Amino acid sequence: MRLVGPSGEQVGIVPLAKALELAQEYDLDLVEVAATARPPVCKLMDYGKFKYESAMKAREARKNQAHTVIKEMKLRPKIDPHDYDTKKGHVERFLKQGDKVKITIMFRGREQSRPELGRRLLQRLAEDVQELGFVESTPKQDGRNMIMVLGPHKKKTEAMAEAREAQAARKAERRGDDPAAAPAEPAEA
């Protein structure tokens, strides 16, 4: 078998007995790295430490991973201006958080014969939030509903990092630990 030393150096091709002897001498484990290679490749390493470090790397990668979420907002073609502003505020918040937003306009009865009302409403909403997001899929009629998807300009990980920074700043401000402020001089008695 081809043997790799504990610090990554090539030991060479050695018999199994010699490799086991070296592993015992270094007080390390003999781990088969590439079984399909000819000859098989083995490495001298602390296997428990290797497993622990790989688990830590995987945990760190999962912690920094962002899950894409699609939020949904439902509207009607004859929406009141105040209700529209409220729904638009929700869409803006979702886009700031880095989530995609699926906007559905539900048509009922005679409203189905006027799809241009829904299309106009979706275009108005897209223009109102264009600094936060972009139209990922254009408005499409799907039975009684018209659907459009908005995607955020910034990625979910960037939005999460900004939110963490803002939260840390708010905590420091509440505690009075403003790092920019100089420490106050004690008053003399």
DSSP structure string for 51-75 = HHHHHHHHHHHHHH-----EEEEEE
Total number of domains in the chain:
2
Identify whether 166 is part of a domain. Answer: no
Q: What is the pLDDT of residues 78-96, one digit of tens each?
A: 999 999 999 999 999 999 8
Identify whether 56 is part of a domain. Answer: no
- Taking residues 184-188, report their average pLDDT: 55
Containing structural domain, residue 7? 2-46
What does the block give as tokens for 54? 């790989």
Identify whether 24 is part of a domain. Answer: yes
Distance CA 12, CA 48 (A): 24
Identify whether 110 is part of a domain. Answer: yes
How would you list the strands of the sheet with 2-4, edge to edge?
10-13, 2-4, 41-45, 29-34
pLDDT tier at 62, thresholds 50, 70, 90: confident
CATH code, domain carrying 78:
3.30.110.10
Averaged pLDDT of the chain: 87
